[in-house]
C-alpha cells in the first residue's frame, strides 16, 4: 500500500466512525517544540547531574526538591508552545460532529488549547499545581516565576499535578480513558513508543473496528494494527479532511501491517 492509499484508507475509516479515540504520546508534542524523553535527542540522552528518570521520581522530589524544580523549570515547563496540526485536526473533527476522545500521555495542555473538550491526561498537567499543605490551586506561571522552591501563601510547598515515577495514575482519569477506548469504533495511536506502563496497557481495552498507528518508527503495536503510517503525526492528520471529501498535503511514508 502506497502513501496516498494509506491516508485515503484512514480518511475512509474516519468518515465511517462516529466515535474515535486518539491515544497520543510525546511524538505529538515534539512537533510543537516540546522535547521528548526517549528519542536520540530526548532528555534521557542528555547529561545532567542526576539521570532525568531519577529527578522525575517521587523520592527525588521529596529529598531534593531544589534540584527537581531546577530541572522542571528548564525542561518541563514549555508554556510558549502552541498546538500543531495534530492538535488542531482533532479539535476540528470534534467541531464537525465527531465524538473525539483524546487520551494523552503528555502534560502540556495543548489538546485543550486547540479546542478538544474530552481529554484524559494520564500523566497530569503542568498547568495545574496545588499546595501540598492546604490544597490551594496555582497556575503554571507561579512555578515558572518563583525563585527556588515555589511556596504557597500558607508557606506550604506547591507541587505540579504531574505523575512522577513511583506515583500511581489518577483512577478517575484512567476509568474515563478506558470507557472511551472501549466504546470507540476507530482508535488512532500516535507518537508513542508504547513503552511507558501502565498507560500503554490501556490499548488492550479497544475492541472496535480499526486500529491505526502513526509513528516515525516501528513499535510493539505493529503486529496488531490494521494500518501503520510512518511519519509525522501532524503532517499525517493534516491530510485528513474533517468533512470527509478530500485531503491534501505532503506524503508520509507508510506501510500496511
Active site residues: 123
> CA 59 to CA 78: how far, in whole Å?
24
- Rounded CA gap, 95 and 29, in Å? 21
Q: To which H or E segment does residue 58 belong? A: helix 58-63
What's the Cα-to-Cα distance from 53 to each of 61, 157, 178, rounded to whole Å? 11, 22, 27
User: Is the dihedral angle over the CA atoms 159, 160, 165, 166 positive or is it negative?
Assistant: positive
Copy the grid coordinates of residue 17: 466512525
The candidate with the shortest Cα–Cα distance to 225, out of 257, 255, 199, is: 257
Cβ-contact 254, 233 below 8 angstroms = no
Residues in the chain: 257
Amino acid at each position: 500500500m502506497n502513501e496516498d492509499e494509506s491516508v485515503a484508507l484512514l480518511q475512509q475509516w474516519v468518515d465511517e466512525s462516529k466515535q474515535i479515540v486518539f491515544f497520543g504520546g510525546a511524538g505529538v508534542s515534539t512537533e510543537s517544540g516540546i522535547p521528548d524523553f526517549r528519542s536520540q535527542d530526548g532528555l534521557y540522552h542528555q547529561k545532567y547531574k542526576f539521570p532525568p528518570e531519577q529527578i522525575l521520581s517521587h523520592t527525588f522530589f521529596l529529598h531534593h526538591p531544589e534540584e527537581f524544580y531546577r530541572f522542571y523549570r528548564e525542561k518541563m515547563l514549555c508554556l510558549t508552545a502552541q498546538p500543531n496540526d495534530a492538535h488542531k485536526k482533532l479539535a476540528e473533527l470534534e467541531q464537525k460532529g465527531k465524538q473525539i476522545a483524546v487520551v494523552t500521555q503528555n502534560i502540556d495542555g495543548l489538546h485543550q488549547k486547540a479546542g478538544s473538550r474530552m481529554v484524559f491526561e494520564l500523566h497530569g498537567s503542568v498547568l495545574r499545581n496545588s499546595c501540598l499543605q492546604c490544597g490551594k490551586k496555582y497556575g503554571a506561571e507561579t512555578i515558572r516565576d518563583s525563585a527556588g522552591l515555589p511556596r504557597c501563601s500558607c508557606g506550604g510547598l506547591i507541587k505540579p499535578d504531574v505523575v512522577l515515577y513511583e506515583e500511581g495514575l489518577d483512577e478517575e482519569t484512567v476509568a474515563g480513558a478506558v470507557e472511551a477506548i472501549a466504546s470507540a469504533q476507530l482508535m488512532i495511536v500516535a507518537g508513542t513508543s508504547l513503552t511507558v506502563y501502565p498507560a500503554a496497557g490501556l490499548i488492550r481495552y479497544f475492541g472496535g473496528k480499526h486500529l491505526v498507528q502513526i509513528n516515525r518508527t516501528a513499535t510493539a503495536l505493529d503486529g496488531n494494527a490494521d494500518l501503520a503510517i510512518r511519519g509525522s503525526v501532524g503532517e499525517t492528520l493534516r491530510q485528513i479532511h474533517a468533512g470527509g471529501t478530500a485531503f491534501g498535503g505532503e506524503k508520509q511514508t507508510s506501510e500496511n501491517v
